[in-house]
Amino acid sequence: MATSLTSGAYSTTGKIDAFTTDTLRRIEGVPGVEAAATAVLLPGIGYGIDLPFNIAGKPPAKGDQYNGDEQYRFVAGHYFQAFRIPLLRGRRFTETDTGNATPVVIINQHMAKRYWPNQTPSAR
């Protein structure tokens, strides 16, 4: 399903987190539901949001302001389980990964190979 949280009732990250957590728990409580998640965009529907970024400890190439520029999507809940996307390394998101927690990112193989060739990406 698709929805939009435009009401003033969802004006803060905390309010959106609370709504999302409650909604996903209720959906996953429905008999037969295996996993529920939220996402800014579903796979195969358009592109994510474009985001330039820097990699900690790795200076950008000469003349560049950023190390890279890729598409990204906000997801929550059991997104990877719902779409049966395997996790190759690291960890999945947990319920404690909210807007008030330390930021967490999960990258795909293409990004790992592009920005960390012959290495394992890791947090710093």
Q: What is the DSSP string of the chain?
A: ------SGGG-SHHHHHHHHHHHHHHHHTSTT----EEESS-TTSS--EEEEE-BTTBPPPTT-SSSEEEEE--EEESHHHHTTPPP-SS----TT-STTSPP-----HHHHHHHSTTS-----
Give per-residue pLDDT as tens, 73-115: 888 889 999 999 999 888 888 878 877 788 888 999 999 999 9
User: Structural domain boundaries of the chain?
Assistant: 8-115
pLDDT single digits (tens) 15-63: 888 888 899 999 999 999 999 998 888 777 777 788 899 998 889 999 9
Q: Of 106 and 2, which is predicted with more confidence?
A: 106
Please say if the pLDDT value at position 64 is more than 80. yes
What pLDDT score was predicted for residue 10? 84
